Structure 1
Amino acid sequence: MVIRGVLFDRDGVLLESNDETYDHFVHWLASYGPTPSQVMREVRRVSERQLEKIRKLEITTPEAEKQYWLESAQSLLDNLDIGSKGPTPQEIAVLWPYYRFLKPVRGVARVLRELRAQGLVLGVLSNALPSLRESLAYHGLDLSFQHFFASSRMGVAKPDPRAFEMAVAQMGLTLGEVIYVGDNPHHVESARRLGMPAYSMQSQGIPDPRNSFHLLWQLEDLLSLVS
């Protein structure tokens, strides 16, 4: 069957962790009194809480997400004992949105440009907060996509097969016409069981030799699959 679309995961495929931003943020907050290690510990707690909220599909609207980040910022300041001497929760939420801690994967802009030039329908399917599109817009990638599917807005998360079925249906295509690219093997397996050609990004480390998934070592490898 002819490939007519590509469905990407966000984290680990389009965007990856930006360690430089983490360092800047940690030292910025540490300048108000706490040690860098204390800041890192609290930042990890915020990140773990965010992942749990996403997993449970508890934040479903932009308004709820905005309130969540304000509450998280206030909790961060309280736990670090940064009072009136430091920034406000509003300043943290505006100056340090979570997607500032991410950066585009190498070569992603060129790959997306070439896929669009081939006339492919492109979408992002991510277990993410409602700000999925905003997170890509911050890095200048949103205009490459026609469709954005955040689990928080869909009410279903990967690896639930319904997430793939709903996304592909809204793309106006069939499962066999859409390649899925993700970095979580369980999500890739779920897509493949539906009959989607699905590939696992393995940009770091060595995969388990028992792994039977199709692998992509770099995003550019996707181009040869759709040409």
Structure 2
Amino acid sequence: MAEHLQAVVFDLDGTLFDHRAAARTGATAFLTHLGLPASAPALGRWAAAEDEHFERWRSGEIGFAEQRRERLRTVLPALGHPLDLDDTAALDDLFADYLRRYRAAWRAFPGSRDLLDELRSRGYRLGLLTNGDAEQQCDKLARTGLSEAFDVVHASGRTGLQKPDERAFTGIARALGFAPSACLFVGDDPERDVAGARRAGMRGLLVDREATSPDAVRVAVLSALEPGRPVLFEA
């Protein structure tokens, strides 16, 4: 074990939890239920609206419930499904139907829990740093069997600090009991995860779950913890 690295902090969506697959499955079932074609362009529109309006929430422009409503307003009329754009209760009920379908498809990436357990067995403390609503993110951990793996969980909806803000990284390092320089951060976003971690003084590992096998991710994490490795890795 590297002498100076004593904790590993993970991102959740796209790193340990397969959000894209769950969102695609949930959106397919949701659009089909509404009698709309779940075509590749329609699913692409849904994903783009999620990215756009989640970023608006992340930046503080709109609230969390409103970013959900905006996703419906952006996508459904364009696909031919009429909406009363001002009926927030109806929009919330409609989005709740999507959420049920999305939630039913929640899965951790293969090997995620095994990797966390191995790191703990090697003596590392483990943290989770995620941008998102705290209740939903903790629900993901519980339903995918990851809850008990972490010593500290920080969700931006509770802390008020969004990655790549350096304070989000220094805050979880402090909660783990270490300086940022004693922590490795593992995430799938080059700017929010790795660049943010590096600015805070952490070592960063960028992973691409779409192109990398579970064993390759495990090897990359363990390699990044070895002494003398550079600050930035990519796997």
Fold shared by both chains (TM-score > 0.5): yes
Deviation at 1:124, TM superposition (A): 0.9
Equivalent position amino acid for 2:58 in 1: R
Q: State the alpha-carbon separation in 1 of the partners of residues 190 and 176 from structure 2.
A: 23
With over 3 angstroms needed to count, the CA separation of the structure-2 counterparts of 1:7 and 1:26, relative to structure 1, is same
Q: Are 1:176 and 2:181 matched, yes or no?
A: yes
Name the structure 2 match of 1:213. Answer: none
With over 3 angstroms needed to count, the CA separation of the structure-2 counterparts of 1:82 and 1:205, relative to structure 1, is same
Name the structure 1 match of 2:208. Answer: 202
Q: State the alpha-carbon separation in 2 of the partners of residues 71 and 203 from structure 1.
A: 29
Deviation at 1:111, TM superposition (A): 0.5
Secondary structure of 1:12's match? coil
Choose which of 51, 56, 60 in structure 1 pairs with 2:59.
Answer: 56
Equivalent position amino acid for 1:191 in 2: A
Secondary structure of 1:103's match? coil
Q: State the alpha-carbon separation in 2 of the partners of residues 29 and 202 from structure 1.
A: 28
Name the structure 1 match of 2:16. Answer: 14
Q: Are 1:104 and 2:108 matched, yes or no?
A: yes
With over 3 angstroms needed to count, the CA separation of the structure-2 counterparts of 1:28 and 1:134, relative to structure 1, is closer
Q: State the alpha-carbon separation in 2 of the partners of residues 51 and 167 from structure 1.
A: 23
Name the structure 1 match of 2:32. Answer: 30
Q: Are 1:125 and 2:129 matched, yes or no?
A: yes
With over 3 angstroms needed to count, the CA separation of the structure-2 counterparts of 1:198 and 1:143, relative to structure 1, is same
Q: Which runs of 5+ in 2 are unaligned?
A: 85-92, 227-235
1:15 and 1:105 in contact (8 A); partners too:
yes
Q: State the alpha-carbon separation in 2 of the partners of residues 204 and 39 from structure 1.
A: 21
2:116 and 2:149 in contact (8 A); partners too:
yes
Q: State the alpha-carbon separation in 2 of the partners of residues 14 and 70 from structure 1.
A: 23
Bigger mean CA deviation after superposition, 5-14 or 15-24 = 15-24
Q: Which runs of 5+ in 1 are unaligned?
A: 207-215
Equivalent position amino acid for 1:12 in 2: G
Choose which of 135, 141, 147 in structure 2 pairs with 1:136.
Answer: 141
Deviation at 1:151, TM superposition (A): 2.0
Q: How high is the sequence identity, in percent, across the aligned residues?
A: 25
Q: State the alpha-carbon separation in 2 of the partners of residues 69 and 129 from structure 1.
A: 12
Q: State the alpha-carbon separation in 2 of the partners of residues 150 and 43 from structure 1.
A: 24
With over 3 angstroms needed to count, the CA separation of the structure-2 counterparts of 1:183 and 1:175, relative to structure 1, is same
Secondary structure of 1:153's match? helix
Calculate the TM-score normalised by the size of structure 1: 0.72
Choose which of 129, 144, 148 in structure 1 pairs with 2:153.
Answer: 148
Please give the root-mean-square deviation of Cα atoms over the aligned residues, in Å: 3.6
Secondary structure of 2:107's match? strand
Deviation at 1:42, TM superposition (A): 6.0
Equivalent position amino acid for 1:125 in 2: L
Q: State the alpha-carbon separation in 2 of the partners of residues 116 and 3 from structure 1.
A: 13
Q: State the alpha-carbon separation in 2 of the partners of residues 16 and 2 from structure 1.
A: 31
Q: How many residues align?
A: 209
Deviation at 1:44, TM superposition (A): 3.2
Deviation at 1:73, TM superposition (A): 8.5
Calculate the TM-score normalised by the size of structure 2: 0.70
Deviation at 1:122, TM superposition (A): 0.9
Bigger mean CA deviation after superposition, 18-27 or 144-153 = 18-27
2:129 and 2:172 in contact (8 A); partners too:
yes
Deviation at 1:205, TM superposition (A): 5.3
1:13 and 1:219 in contact (8 A); partners too:
no
Name the structure 2 match of 1:43. Answer: 46
Deviation at 1:223, TM superposition (A): 3.0
